[in-house]
Amino acid sequence: MDPEKAHIQIREELLLAKQSRLEGNEGRARVCARRAAGTAVKLYLENKGLTNGSENALQSLDKLRSETELPPRVQTAVNWLVQRVDQNYSLPAEIDLIKEAWIVLEFIDQADLANGDNSRI
């Protein structure tokens, strides 16, 4: 995965998530937030040699959850991002997947900085 293209895709997905929420399309906002976080995680896992690159966003998030030690708040964010909606296509009202995606992105940024990678998401 080309890091520059991935960073552009992440920013575009986050912008689209915000715009979708403003338009009242919460389902699309959730999908975009998941894709943004999943793309960042996929790049992170590739850089660590923990993936073959064929995973989609949800698979990447799931792999992060199972193969790395995460701080509790980041673990909670990943858990919410991979949670399925109910039969009404809803999540609990207190869950904001855009916010949860940002928590994952900030974790990855901090981990990358700690490893000497100064490219920011």
Each residue of 14-54: pLDDT tens digit?
A: 999 999 999 999 999 999 999 999 999 999 999 888 887 78
**pTM here?**
0.89
Cα–Cα nearest to 39, from 80, 67, 9: 9
What is the set of domains in the chain, with CATH numbers? 3-114 (1.20.120.330)
pLDDT given for residue 25 in this prediction = 95
**Other Cβ atoms within 10 Å of 16 Cβ, number:** 18
- CA pair distance 109, 64, nearest whole angstrom: 14
Which 8-state DSSP code applies to residue 93? Answer: T
Percent of the chain with pLDDT over 90: 64
